[in-house]
């Protein structure tokens, strides 16, 4: 029986999958015209699956000898371009068994000086093949420094000789677009001179995420084979949480079916999807860990820090390049306004950034539960104030993103409390001017029906040389509470001014009314 795949390329015989070639329809016309181009997309979005399928189809149709292979093993060569050439040529030979015998490369690559061996080998192969060659260089950006420069320049040098004496079409595939190859080649664009190392490319194609209809189609394959239905609202919720990111779409379904183990006779509901989301975030599998590792990169931090704080990104000459880099990695949305790519990533980022503080919170989650099963919101606020007075200065200053340390400490505290059975939803983004938090706590009503208690928080910062943010905060939390259909909430204002009260005096509470008359507890921290 087929299953939802979360590791490696998909195989139609083994896995549920959206038809691969459909995901990159622009590629075939470019190949047929004998052009060189770039395909890029974040990790685990289906690049390899799509390109393998296209190569197999082109070869099977008889007009081309198309081969997909990987440059990943060349990563260890670093700047040793001779070693990189050898690993790339070796992988071509290893993968060439997929081609008809008369279209395979020579049994021995021609002897040539280091730095020209790839070009010489491809020229000899193109000259002996009865069909034009189409080569998919996957993981091209795994190469570094002089190795990457050498490969790109050899491809550029052979370009005019195609298709008789060089591959007809070459496709470079990786996470990043070609504009970022200069940085990957050593970090200093000047090292490559003014010319692009691959200025022969005609297009840069991006493999996108699944559309809502494709998520429905993918999940429907499971229903067709097993009879187990996905409630339409469950499919809708899966798309909301993932925004169609292929690995996440598959991972949620796999978690529900294989790990949670919903019986085949039962339909999959939004509650199952929510539980799967929490399990994925807590487990932080390889895909999510690889994203988290990027958070400490300066180019990423310049966007994620202001995004979490709700600030604007400070002007910087490298702004556009860094934004495109974050988009290539799949961390932020493709379109403006800039935001984290999907709600699951948004949750993972702040949980990871808040982890150092959460490990210091000793509060016992069950101690906040009232006899009727509801959460004691008043106690939660009082204990956080006490915690903040004692530990806030030390913890917030030591957070990985110290500029948003106070907000992360509060989120860590609330997450620790919610770990007793609830969740914390976070809304943040560039230019929002605040962070919205919603503690969701399940309990049973007197009649036994399940219900959710909602506790809304809004976080503001009183920055140096800025006016008191209270008026703006009241208007903003008013809108948030209105959207949630709540009458009360908490507005937390973190004072970052030099004239702020001493830490032991922080935590002053007062009541205020929003513009629409809702009662809000204001706490100054």
**Pair 77, 172 in one domain:** yes
pLDDT digits 0-9 by tens, 123-166: 999 999 999 999 999 999 888 888 888 899 899 999 999 999 99
The terminus-to-terminus CA distance of the chain in angstroms comes to: 56
Task: Provide the pLDDT confidence category of residue 196 given band limits of 50, 70 and 90.
Answer: low
Which of 160, 179, 206 delimits the end of a domain?
206
CB 25 within 8 A of CB 276: no
**Pair 479, 345 in one domain:** yes
Which of 267, 283, 299 delimits the end of a domain?
283
CB 474 within 8 A of CB 514: yes
Which of 190, 206, 222 delimits the end of a domain?
206
**Pair 276, 383 in one domain:** no
- Look up the CATH number of the domain holding residue 29: 3.40.50
CB 139 within 8 A of CB 174: yes
Residue 327 domain-assigned (yes or no): no
Q: Which domain holds residue 412?
A: 332-524
**Pair 404, 509 in one domain:** yes
Residue 438: pLDDT over 80: yes
Residue 421: pLDDT over 90: no
Give Cα separations from 181 to 118, 175, 203, 451 (angstroms).
Answer: 19, 10, 15, 52
**Pair 370, 389 in one domain:** yes
pLDDT of residue 179: 60
**Pair 78, 93 in one domain:** yes
Give the mean pLDDT of the chain.
89
Collect all residues with Cβ–Cβ distance below 8 Å to 427 and sequence separation of at least 6.
Answer: 435, 436, 437, 438
Total domain count, the chain: 3
Residue 300 domain-assigned (yes or no): no
Q: Angle of helix 117-128 relative to helix 145-158, nearest 10 degrees?
A: 40
**Pair 137, 259 in one domain:** no
Collect all residues with Cβ–Cβ distance below 8 Å to 195 and sequence separation of at least 6.
Answer: none
Residue 167 domain-assigned (yes or no): yes
List b or e across 85-113, with b for residues whose CB sees 16 or more CB atoms inside 10 angstroms: bbbbbebbeebbebbeeebbbeeebeeee
- Look up the CATH number of the domain holding residue 273: 1.10.8
Mean pLDDT of 450-472: 94
**Pair 274, 418 in one domain:** no
Residue 324 domain-assigned (yes or no): no
Task: Provide the pLDDT confidence category of residue 216 given band limits of 50, 70 and 90.
Answer: very high
**Pair 193, 106 in one domain:** yes
| Percentage, residues of the chain above pLDDT 70 | 95
**Pair 152, 225 in one domain:** no
Which pTM value belongs to this model?
0.87
Residue 291 domain-assigned (yes or no): no
**Pair 342, 432 in one domain:** yes
**Pair 471, 373 in one domain:** yes
């Amino acid at each position: 029986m087929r299953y939802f795949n979360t590791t490696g390329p998909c195989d139609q015989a083994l896995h549920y999958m959206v038809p691969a070639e459909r995901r990159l329809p622009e590629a075939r016309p470019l190949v047929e015209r004998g052009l060189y181009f770039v395909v890029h997309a974040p990790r685990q979005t289906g690049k390899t699956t799509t390109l393998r399928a296209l190569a197999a189809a082109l070869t099977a149709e008889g007009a081309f000898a198309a081969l997909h292979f990987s440059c990943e093993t060349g990563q260890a060569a670093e700047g040793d371009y001779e070693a990189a050439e050898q690993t790339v040529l070796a992988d071509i030979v290893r993968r060439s068994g997929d081609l008809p015998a008369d279209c395979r490369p020579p049994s021995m690559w021609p002897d040539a000086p280091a730095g020209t061996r790839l070009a010489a080998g491809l020229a000899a192969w193109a000259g002996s093949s009865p069909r034009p060659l189409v080569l998919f260089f996957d993981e091209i950006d795994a190469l570094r420094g002089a190795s990457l420069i050498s490969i790109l320049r050899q491809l550029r040098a052979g370009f005019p000789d195609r298709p008789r004496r060089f591959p007809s079409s070459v496709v470079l595939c990786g996470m990043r677009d070609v504009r970022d190859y200069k940085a990957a080649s050593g970090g200093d664009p000047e090292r490559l001179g003014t010319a692009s190392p691959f200025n022969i490319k005609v297009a840069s194609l991006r493999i996108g995420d699944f559309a809502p209809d494709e998520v429905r189609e993918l999940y429907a394959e499971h229903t067709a084979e097993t009879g187990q239905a996905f409630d339409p609202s469950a499919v809708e919720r899966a798309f909301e949480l993932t925004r169609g990111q292929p690995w996440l779409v598959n991972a949620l379904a796999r978690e529900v079916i294989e790990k949670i183990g919903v019986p085949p006779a039962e339909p999959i509901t939004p509650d199952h999807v929510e539980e799967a989301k929490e399990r994925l975030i807590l487990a932080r599998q390889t895909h999510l860990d690889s994203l988290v590792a990027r958070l400490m990169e300066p180019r990423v931090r310049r966007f994620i820090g202001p995004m979490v704080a709700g600030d604007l990104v400070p002007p910087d000459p490298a702004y556009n390049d860094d934004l495109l880099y974050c988009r290539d990695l799949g961390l932020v949305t493709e379109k403006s306004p800039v935001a984290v790519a999907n709600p699951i990533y948004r949750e993972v980022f702040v949980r990871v950034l808040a982890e150092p503080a959460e490990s210091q919170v000793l509060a016992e989650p069950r101690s906040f539960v009232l006899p009727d099963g509801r959460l004691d919101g008043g106690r939660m606020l009082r204990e956080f104030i006490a915690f903040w007075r004692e530990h806030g200065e030390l913890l917030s200053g030591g957070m990985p993103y110290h500029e948003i340390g106070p907000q992360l400490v509060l989120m860590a505290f609330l997450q620790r409390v919610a770990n007793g059975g609830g969740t914390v939803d976070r809304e943040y983004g560039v230019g929002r001017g605040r962070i919205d938090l919603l503690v969701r706590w399940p309990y049973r009503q007197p009649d036994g029906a399940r219900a959710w208690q909602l506790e809304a928080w809004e976080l503001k910062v009183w920055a140096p040389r800025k006016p008191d943010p209270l008026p703006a905060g009241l208007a903003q939390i008013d809108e948030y509470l209105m959207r949630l259909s709540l009458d009360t909430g908490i507005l937390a204002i973190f004072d970052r001014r030099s004239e702020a009260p001493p830490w032991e005096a922080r935590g002053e509470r007062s009541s205020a009314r929003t513009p629409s008359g809702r009662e809000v507890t204001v706490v100054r921290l």
